[in-house]
């Protein structure tokens, strides 16, 4: 089972995204901020990371840059999921090294399909 680390400071969003991914047959690891995520990565490396942009302290863009500098996460797929969907925000995320960028709110099917594509998995029928 593929493991995904979701980093979002909003507990509601973290819970909802987690449920969507678990229903899509993924194991979900959750972190409420960049520091917690970095601490978790010291112990374990997931198959994909999903980042929110707007977080206190280090935001998702800065965290993405940090993850790209690391040996263990330098090549991992990183998906930025943000309420900021304007072109400048998307470009800033992609420039930071994100593999892809999706605006919130997101539908269950769209999120699971995107994650499966990013992990080169076959689509799941009848979700």
> DSSP readout, 31-85?
ESSHHHHHHHHHH---SEEEE-S--SSS-HHHHHHHHHHSTTTTTS-EEEEES--
Say what the pTM is: 0.94
Average pLDDT, the chain: 93
Show the domain range for 44: 3-118
pLDDT for 126 equals 44
Query: Is 101 a member of any domain?
Result: yes
Q: Which domain CATH number covers 37?
A: 3.40.50.2300
pLDDT digits (tens, 9 = 90+) for 80-119: 998 888 889 899 999 999 999 999 888 899 999 999 999 9
Q: 125 pLDDT band (50/70/90 cuts)?
A: low
Query: Is 123 a member of any domain?
Result: no
Domains contained in the chain, number? 1
Query: Is 124 a member of any domain?
Result: no
Query: Is 75 a member of any domain?
Result: yes
């Amino acid at each position: 089972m593929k493991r995904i680390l979701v980093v979002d400071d909003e507990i509601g969003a973290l819970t909802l995204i987690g449920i969507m991914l678990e229903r899509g047959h993924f194991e979900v690891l959750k972190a409420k901020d960049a520091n917690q995520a970095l601490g978790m990565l010291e112990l374990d490396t997931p198959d994909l990371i999903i980042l929110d942009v707007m977080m206190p302290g280090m935001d998702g863009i800065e965290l993405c840059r940090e993850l790209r500098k690391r040996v263990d996460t330098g090549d991992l797929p990183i998906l930025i999921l943000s309420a900021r969907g304007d072109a400048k925000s998307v470009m800033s995320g992609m420039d930071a090294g994100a593999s892809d960028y999706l605006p919130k709110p997101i539908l269950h099917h769209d999120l699971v399909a995107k994650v499966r594509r990013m992990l080169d998995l076959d689509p799941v029928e009848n979700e």
